[in-house]
Structure 1
C-alpha cells in the first residue's frame, strides 16, 4: 500500500484498512482546518487504488472487515470509478461488512440519489460528513462551502440512499458571540436530518490556519471549559433524535455517549455535574495530537 503525506481518519475507523483514494481535499478552505494545507488535491488512478487493495489482500488475507478511503471528500470521485473500487474490494475481502469515506454537502450535492444508491449497492455503507455548525453565519465565517439547507437536503439524500450518515459538530466554532445560535441551529439541522451518528468535537486552534491566526490576535475568543459544556448542553437539550450521540474525541471536555432520545436525561445530568467541577480540572489537548 502507498500513502502520500499524513493520512487522517475518524476515530471510529481505527480498525479499518486505510486505502488512499484521493490526495488532499478538493475544498481545503475551511478556516479552522490544517489537515490538508500541505497537499495539492488530486484523485488517484483507479488502477493504483486497486493495486493497493490487492497488496492489502496479500498482506491481510480475508481478515479485512472494514475499509475507509481517505483523503478529504473522496465522494467527489466519479460514481463509476468509486463503484469499480468498492466492488473490487468486495470481491477481494469476503468478510467485508463496511466501507466508508468523507463527504461534505458541497460534494454530496453533486451526486444524484440514483448515484448514491448505485454506490450503496456497490458496498458503500457510511458517509462521514463535517457539518460543524447548523448556523449559516458560522458556516460562512469558517468557509465550509455549503449552507445549513444544503446539508439538510444532502444528508437526507444519503439516508434515503440507504447509507449510514455520521455528522460532526464542532463545539465552540461560533466563539462566544454565536455560541447560542450555533447550538440551537445545529440542533435544528440535526433534527431535520436524523443522522445515525452525531459526533462531537471541540474547537482547538491549529497553527498556520486563518482561524488559528485570529485566535492568536485575540479576534476570536475560545470558549472556556464551562462555556463549552453549556453550549454542549444546549445542543443536547434540543436534539430529538433518533440516532446515537457520541463524544469520541480527545478535544472534548465532556464525554457523553448514548442513544437519543432515550439517554438524553442521563447525558444532561452528566453535563450538569461537570458544570460544578472547577475549570482548573479541565485541560486542553496539545493541538499536535488532535
Structure 2
C-alpha cells in the first residue's frame, strides 16, 4: 500500500485496513483543523486505488474485515468510481464486514438519495461526519461550510439510504461565549436525525490554525476542565436518541459511553462525580489525531 502525507483515521477504525482514495480535504478551511492545511486536495485514480487493494490482499491475505478509505471527505468521489472501488474491495476480501469514509454535510448534499442507496448496495457501511456543532453561529465562526438545517437534511438522507452515520461533536468549540448555545443546539440537531453514533471530542488548540491564533490573542476563550464537563452534561441532558454515545478519544475529560436514552442518568451521574474532583487533577492531551 502507498500512502501520501499523514494519514488520519477515527479511533474506531484502528483495526481497519487504510486505503487512501483521496489526498487532503476539499474544504480545508475549518479554523480549528490543521490535518490537511498544507496539502493540495486530489482524488486518486480508480486504477491506483485498486492496485493498493490488490497489494493489501497479497500482503494480508483475503481475511480483512474492515476498510477505511482516507483522506478527508472521500464521499466527494464520483459515485460510479466509489461504487467500482467498493465492489472491487469486496472481491479482494470476501469476508468484509465494514467499509467507511469521511463525509461532511457540505459534500453529502452533492449526492442524491438514490446514489447513497447504490453506495450502500455496493458495500459502504458507515460515514464518519464532523458536525462539530449544531449552533449556526459556531458553525459560521469555525467555517464548517454548512448550516445546522443542512446537517439535518443530509443526516436524514444518509439514514434513509441505510448507511450508518457516525457524528462528531467538539466540546468547547463554541468557547465560553457560546457554550450553552453550542450544547443545546447540538442536542437539537442530533435529535432531529438520530445518527447511529455520536462521538465526543474536546477542542484543543492546534498550532498553526486560525483558531489557535485567536486563542493566543485572547479572542477565543478556551473552556476549563469543569466548564467542558458542564457543557458535556448539558448536551447529554438534552439528547434524546436513540443512538450510541461514545467518548472514545484521549482529549476528553469524561469517560462517557453508552446508549441514549437508556444510559443518560448514569452518564450524568458520572459527570457529577468528576465535577467533585479537584479541577487541577485534570490533564488534557493533544487532540490532533481525531
**TM-score band w.r.t. shorter chain:** over 0.9
Residues 97, 289 of structure 1: alpha-carbon distance in 2 compared, 3 angstrom cutoff: closer
Conservation of the 8 A alpha-carbon contact between 2:250 and 2:285:
yes
1:268 is paired with a residue whose SS is helix
Q: 1:264 and 2:264 equivalent?
A: yes
2-side partners of 1:233 and 1:169: how far apart?
13
Q: 1:150 and 2:150 equivalent?
A: yes
Scaled by the length of structure 2, the TM-score of the pair is 0.99
1-side partners of 2:27 and 2:287: how far apart?
22
Counterparts of 1:45-64 in structure 2, within 5 Å, are: 45-64=45-64
Conservation of the 8 A alpha-carbon contact between 2:244 and 2:260:
yes
The aligned counterpart of 2:176 is 176
2-side partners of 1:117 and 1:278: how far apart?
50
Q: 1:253 and 2:257 equivalent?
A: no
2-side partners of 1:287 and 1:75: how far apart?
24
The alpha carbon displacement at 1:288 in A equals 6.3
Q: 1:188 and 2:157 equivalent?
A: no
Q: 1:34 and 2:59 equivalent?
A: no
Q: Which runs of no fewer than 5 residues in structure 2 stay unpaired?
A: none
The aligned counterpart of 1:108 is 108
The aligned counterpart of 1:162 is 162
The aligned counterpart of 2:140 is 140
Residues 103, 288 of structure 1: alpha-carbon distance in 2 compared, 3 angstrom cutoff: closer
Q: 1:112-134: CA deviations, max 9, x gaps?
A: 00000000000000000000000
Residues 288, 119 of structure 1: alpha-carbon distance in 2 compared, 3 angstrom cutoff: closer
The alpha carbon displacement at 1:36 in A equals 0.2
2:200 is paired with a residue whose SS is strand
2-side partners of 1:224 and 1:255: how far apart?
17
The aligned counterpart of 2:11 is 11
The alpha carbon displacement at 1:286 in A equals 3.5
Total equivalences in the alignment: 290
Q: 1:79 and 2:79 equivalent?
A: yes
2-side partners of 1:167 and 1:287: how far apart?
17
1-side partners of 2:42 and 2:62: how far apart?
30
| Poorly superposed stretches of 4+, deviation over 2 Å | 286-290
The aligned counterpart of 2:129 is 129
2-side partners of 1:18 and 1:284: how far apart?
28
2-side partners of 1:289 and 1:92: how far apart?
29
1:75 is paired with a residue whose SS is helix
Q: Which runs of no fewer than 5 residues in structure 1 stay unpaired?
A: none
The alpha carbon displacement at 1:218 in A equals 1.2
Residues 289, 64 of structure 1: alpha-carbon distance in 2 compared, 3 angstrom cutoff: closer
2-side partners of 1:233 and 1:286: how far apart?
22
The aligned counterpart of 2:221 is 221
What value does the CA root-mean-square deviation take over the aligned residues? 0.8
2-side partners of 1:55 and 1:287: how far apart?
32
